[in-house]
Chains A and B, each alone.
Chain A
């Protein structure tokens, strides 16, 4: 325990005004000097690191408490603190844990109990044991829950089960398949296991001689082997995925890394495959930089001369001369092997001369003949952003629309499991069972349609990328207005209202109503951001200033009004009520009338007080004026130091004793191991019993994922 707290506890004991009855005052006063001496001795023992003397102090305080109880007096209140203090001097992990358990067995006060519990929870091996136990429980619960859940889905198709029980076969098979998949994955390394492994290792590094060392070492070996296998499998999977996508550079990196891992034999074959593909690619690349083995040659004479003239004109890059030379060549040698190239030159020249549409027509005509290299080059040119212009954006929009339809009608989870489920149902019911694939699952379709309406489930990035690229290259193009419109819509669907607003304002005639709607959405989005984490005064003020007419601005104004005054230490009213000693001259030196509930004589608002820049800022409610007003009191340097210390002590204590129970878990819930889960989502309505899971809560979860 902190010496300051100990001294405070002693002072509290010595203070006659606290809880003592009048006939005890003499007794307390007589013992005050003795208690102070005892506290001093205890602190000296702690500073000397004398564990044995501290143990004796604990025994003496226990005897004193016993004696006081026999005399009908309250115990000293010091014993818990000294017991906790003694635990901190335990030489080993095991002795410290035993001492902390002893502290808890003695039912200490709230602060000491929380501190002792925290010490025990912070023990790495203890935490690892708890994490592993919860993880085991959750794996078993997941198998049971997933096996039961398919039987509780009420889709349109499942309703037919009442008429035709054969339909249940689909759900039963889904249940069996899900269970099989879960059992297959049962032993897969989980995030909690990774954390447990790291914590076990940390324990052995810190306390290699702990009595739990053999057990911890066994757990480390088991989890370590599992982790190595998982790392190998994950790296090989990444390599294979990259290989499947023909991303050979990444594939070789992952597979080479996996191949270097001990016992990771699975990487060798795909690595050889990737290297072979890499070599093939290099050969193909090199070949593409050379002419074909027997390229056509112009016949000597007129064809060779005209071909040379065409080459010269093309090299010089004058569009007029290029068209003239190409036309002359085509006129004289229309059946030449070089005619397609000459037509390609015509297209290039037209584009260079600024006749973009004519160039496109020429390329389209040439691209129809895919057998010639010029035809393929023309097709390639037509596929580029320069030629596709708005078409490319429109294509991306069409793909987006199609993907959205897919999501609405078929859901977003057409994976192996649902395919197996659907396949089984198809087999059982023939074509009519197609209804149960989701087509007739009206609830699911409607839910997904609503979801898609509220928040776009499909990425808009392709539309955005193409549109932005178009505008970057041709901001003054005639189609720019249309592209701004499309981008505004895409950004709005993607929830990027700032960009949507920017593009919409850049259109020729923006509709003020739509601008307002976008502003409202942007303000609401900013408000949502401001609500995450600690109050963000800057963001809230920004919403009020920039979007004053929106609903979000109204809410932001309200939030700003509720914020405590700026200060580096803030104490709300509830905290002050829970710690009345803070009001005294040793603390904030506040008039108790400010907390008596009577607004007539001034009442502290819920925001409380803040200490900042050598002053105390009070947020007050009174009858004099509506709303809150802030009163600032300058403090002397001594008063400031006292107030600050008392405030920080109270804040720390409230943090230590805060209830850490999951707010979603009721007080009796731990006695009921099952619950009924219901969901209304993509798959329709689902109601099924389930085993409760234990929430994995790690302060450093990201370190183990």
Chain B
């Protein structure tokens, strides 16, 4: 009997024991006491590879570069004139990691002009940020598709040069991320204008496939695959629109087109750990429902 009670107590204990919750140890998001901690957290993640991995988060789930920037700015507002070289320099670092190169260059320049042990590094930072800002300032759009593509080509060349220049440094990741963003913009432009381009669907597919292949190490790879899936889905919908009359519609042809989209969605929908996984599951379910509905309509 005693054994049974021990067993009962054990099982009830198991049932009633609360699961450990993430974040319990970290406490709530609260005002900070010491700017040194803010700077230490930023320093910890200055060399993160933001091309391959998402931006870092603090223990409360806030994006660290943004949080550091806001906290430093608020410190400067509350205590103007205190530790200006340190706050100016770290503000510039945060801005640089957030892609605000012009503002970062300006902040570095201000520190570079001060009597501070940070001045020399700040001047180097100013040069680097200015180079990034120059590339970032190039236009991405023109009056028409050709002009936009030409502008993008020029900007891509500028970023490509920065990728080479900062090869092997922590700053290369930012240039690669920017290059990826621009190539993604090019692909989107081609996809959007595929009807106006000769052999548009194939060119659009090639541009998205290029993105998938070139940026296989990027954190955005699942997103690129989803976009390829979106293109295939659009092409399947185009097919239905262009063959709306029942006798013009070929179920096998539609099926093949729809399955290409579903294959892409499924890749991401089964990708454990990818932030895009739930979105891909939703898109797979939505497009699968569309496929079923179309096939039922023409059965």
Chain A CB within 8 A of B189 CB: no
Q: Does A284 have its Cβ within 8 Å of any Cβ on chain B?
A: yes
Q: Which 10 A-B pairs have the closest CB atoms?
A: A380-B59, A468-B273, A380-B26, A288-B29, A341-B36, A379-B25, A289-B70, A311-B86, A341-B34, A409-B11
| Beta-carbon contact of B37 and A373 below 8 Å | yes
Closest-by-CB residue of B relative to A399 is: B19
Which single residue of chain B is at the shortest CB-CB distance from A414? Answer: B15
Interface residue B248 (Cβ < 8 Å from any Cβ of A): no
What's the Cα separation between A287 and B117 when bound, in Å?
A: 32
Chain A residue contacts of B43, Cβ below 8 A: 314-315, 317, 322, 348, 352
Contact of B247 with A by CB under 8 A: no
Binds A, one of B71-79, B129-137, B149-157, B205-213: B71-79
What are 11 A-B pairs with beta-carbon distances under 8 A?
A: A288-B29, A290-B74, A291-B75, A291-B78, A296-B34, A315-B86, A317-B47, A337-B34, A341-B37, A374-B34, A409-B14
A interface secondary structure, majority? helix
A residues in contact with B44, CB < 8 Å? 348, 351-352
Q: Does A381 contact B (CB under 8 A)?
A: yes
- Give the chain B neighbours of A399 by CB distance below 8 A: 19-20
Q: When chains A and B are docked, how far (Å) is the Cα of A465 from the Cα of B37?
A: 30
Interface residues of B (CB under 8 A from A): 4-5, 7-8, 11-12, 14-15, 17, 19-20, 22-23, 25-37, 39-41, 43-44, 46-47, 53, 58-60, 62, 67, 70-71, 74-75, 78-79, 83, 85-86, 89-90, 93, 116-118, 121, 270, 272-273, 289
User: CB-nearest residue of chain A relative to B36?
Assistant: A341
User: A315 with B90: in contact, given A310-B36, A344-B40, A395-B20 (CB under 8 Å)?
Assistant: yes
What's the least CB distance linking B30 to chain A, in Å?
6
> B272 — which chain A residues lie within 8 A by C-beta?
461, 464-465, 468, 499
**Cross-chain contact B29 with A295 (CB below 8 angstroms):** no
Q: Is A187 an interface residue (CB 8 A)?
A: no
Q: How far is the CA of A399 from the CA of B32 in the complex (A)?
A: 33
| A624 cross-chain contacts in B, Cβ below 8 A | none
A645 within 8 A of partner (CB): no
Contact partners of B289 in chain A: CB under 8 A = 702
Q: With an 8 A cutoff between CB atoms, is A625 at the interface?
A: no
Contact of B27 (CB < 8 Å), options: A291, A309, A376, A461: A376
A284's closest neighbor in chain B, by CB?
A: B29
Closest A residue by C-beta to B85: A312
Measured CB to CB, the nearest residue on chain B to A461 is B272
A287 to B31, CA, bound (A): 6
Contact with B along A385-418 (1 / 0, CB 8 A): 0000000000100010010011001100010000
Nearest residue in A to B41 (C-beta to C-beta)?
Answer: A377
**Among A291, A410, A468, A473: residue with most chain B CB under 10 A:** A291
Q: Which residue of B lies closest to A699 (CB)?
A: B296
Chain A residues with CB under 8 Å of B46's CB are 317
Nearest residue (CB) in B for A312 is: B117
- Closest Cβ neighbor of B31 among chain A residues: A292
Residues of A within 8 A of B93 (CB): 315
| Interface pair B86/A296, CB less than 8 Å apart | no
Closest chain A residue to B69 by CB distance? A289
B118 touches A288 (CB 8 A): no
Quick check: is A332 within 8 A (CB to CB) of the other chain?
no
Known: A291-B78, A314-B39, A351-B44. A285 touches B29 (CB 8 A): yes
Give min CB distance, A490 to chain B, whole Å.
10
Contacts of B60 in A (CB 8 A): 288, 380
A373–B60 alpha-carbon span in the complex (Å): 13
Of B5, B22, B37, most A-chain CB atoms within 10 Å = B37
A410→B40 contact, CB < 8 A: no
Q: Does A243 contact B (CB under 8 A)?
A: no
A345 at the binding interface (Cβ < 8 Å): yes
Q: How far is the CA of A639 from the CA of B38 in the complex (A)?
A: 84
Q: Are B37 and A311 in contact (CB under 8 A)?
A: no
Chain B nearest CB: distance from A176 CB in Å? Answer: 25
Bound-state CA distance A289–B5 (Å) is: 53
Q: Name B252's closest neighbour in chain A (CB-CB).
A: A568
Bound together, the chains give a CA A381 to CA B25 distance in angstroms of 10
Partner of A295, one of B25, B33, B86, B90: B33
Among B32, B47, B67, B75, which residue has the most Cβ atoms of chain A within 10 A? B32
Q: Cβ of B67 and Cβ of A289 under 8 Å apart? A: yes
Closest B residue to A342 by beta carbon equals B36
| A residues with CB within 8 A of B | 284-285, 287-293, 295-296, 307-312, 314-317, 322, 337-338, 341-342, 344-345, 348, 351-352, 367, 370, 372-374, 376-377, 379-384, 395, 399, 402, 405-406, 409-410, 414, 431, 434-435, 439-440, 461, 464-465, 468-469, 472-473, 496, 499, 702
**Other-chain residue from A292, A308, A384 in contact with B59 (beta carbon distance below 8 A):** A384
Residues of chain B within 8 A of A295, CB atoms compared:
33-35
With CB as the reference atom, state the residue of chain A lying closest to B39.
A314
A376 touches B74 (CB 8 A): no
Give every chain A residue within 8 A of B23 (Cβ-Cβ). 383
B15 and A291 contacting across the interface, CB-CB below 8 Å: no
Contact B89 A381 (CB under 8 A): no
Complex interface: chain B residues within 8 A of A312 (CB): 85-86, 116-118
| List of B residues within 8 angstroms of A316 by Cβ | 118, 121
Task: Please name all residues of chain A whose beta carbon is closer than 8 Å to the beta carbon of B86 when the two chains form the complex.
Answer: 308, 311-312, 315
Known contacts A290-B78, A406-B15, A439-B4; A381/B59 CB under 8 A: yes
Residue of B nearest to A468 (CB): B273
CA distance A381 to B5 in the complex (A): 41
Query: Closest CB-CB distance, B130 to chain A, in whole Å?
Result: 20
Nearest-neighbor residue (CB-CB) of A490 within chain B: B272
A286 smallest CB distance to B (angstroms): 9
Q: Which residues of B contact A373 (CB under 8 A)?
A: 30, 32-34, 37
Cβ of B40 and Cβ of A464 under 8 Å apart? Answer: no
Bound Cα distance from A573 to B58, whole angstroms: 69
Q: Are A314's CB and B58's CB within 8 A?
A: no
In the bound complex, how far is the Cα of B99 from the Cα of A685, in angstroms? 65
Which residues from B are CB-within-8-Å of A440? 4
Known: A290-B74, A315-B93. A439 touches B40 (CB 8 A): no
| Nearest CB on B from A359, distance (A) | 10
Choose among B31, B39, B59 the residue that contacts A290 (Cβ–Cβ < 8 A).
B31
B108, chain A: closest CB distance, angstroms: 12
Q: How near does chain A come to B255, taking the closest CB pair, in angstroms?
A: 12
B32 touches A315 (CB 8 A): no
Residues of A within 8 A of B75 (CB): 291
Residue of A292, A312, A352, A379 contacting most chain B CB atoms (<10 Å): A312
Query: Beyond A285-B29, A311-B35: 14 further Cβ-contacts under 8 Å?
Result: A290-B74, A307-B36, A312-B85, A341-B36, A344-B40, A377-B37, A379-B25, A380-B26, A380-B27, A380-B60, A405-B11, A410-B11, A465-B272, A496-B270
Q: Which residues of A contact B67 (CB under 8 A)?
A: 289
Given the interface pairs A399-B19, A465-B272, the reply to whether A296 lies near B33 with Cβ below 8 Å is yes
Closest Cβ–Cβ distance, residue B280 to chain A (whole Å): 15
